[in-house]
Amino acid sequence: MRIIQQGDRVRVHYTTKSLEGSVIETSQRREPLEFTAGGDGVIAGLSEGVIGMAAGESRELTVPAEQAFGRHYPDLIQTAPVSLLPEDLQAGDQLTATVDGIALDVWAQRIGEDEAVIDANHPLSGETLVIDVEVVGFETVSR
């Protein structure tokens, strides 16, 4: 039986849940997710978690924050004048901010009359995730 090795091109269906069991995202109603096993196209816990699996195999992966969306850093939460932000910005919206010439994805946490709370942490930072993954198929990359 062939198993996935680092560098193989993998296709999976997945359901990502919180530790409490709430579904965060699933690929079940769309095309399988495709990525390189052991690569950086998806979170490390998934990318590395499929290594050693076979086509048709399913597994539950428990992925700590460090292998998912990283730790949560309180100093990445800042306030900004509403006048500098898009007019239609709503709490929960994602936008790109440029800081010292570096583009960062940030999320609006709260929008007040004069100030908004902006968070550069990913919304799932600090969270351990549970990922139900099923390998739909894979292609071995020539070694």
pLDDT tens column, 36-63: 999 999 999 999 999 999 999 999 999 9
To the question of domain 74-119 being in CATH 3.40.1310.30, the answer is no
Q: Where are the domains of the chain?
A: 9-70+124-139, 74-119
With tokens 């309180």, the residue in question is 74
At residue 83 the predicted structure's pLDDT band, cuts being 50, 70 and 90, is: very high
Question: Phi and psi (nearest 5°) for 79?
Answer: -105, 150
Does the model's pTM come out above 0.85? no
To the question of domain 9-70+124-139 being in CATH 3.40.50.970, the answer is no
Distance linking the first and last C-alpha atoms of the chain: 18
Helix intervals (H) in 1-143: 44-49
pLDDT tens column, 100-125: 888 989 999 999 999 999 999 999 99
**Residue 87: partners with Cβ closer than 8 Å, 6 or more residues away:** none
For residues 52 and 61, what is the distance between their CA atoms, to the nearest angstrom?
Answer: 13
**Residue 42: partners with Cβ closer than 8 Å, 6 or more residues away:** 33, 35
For residues 8 and 143, what is the distance between their CA atoms, to the nearest angstrom?
Answer: 10
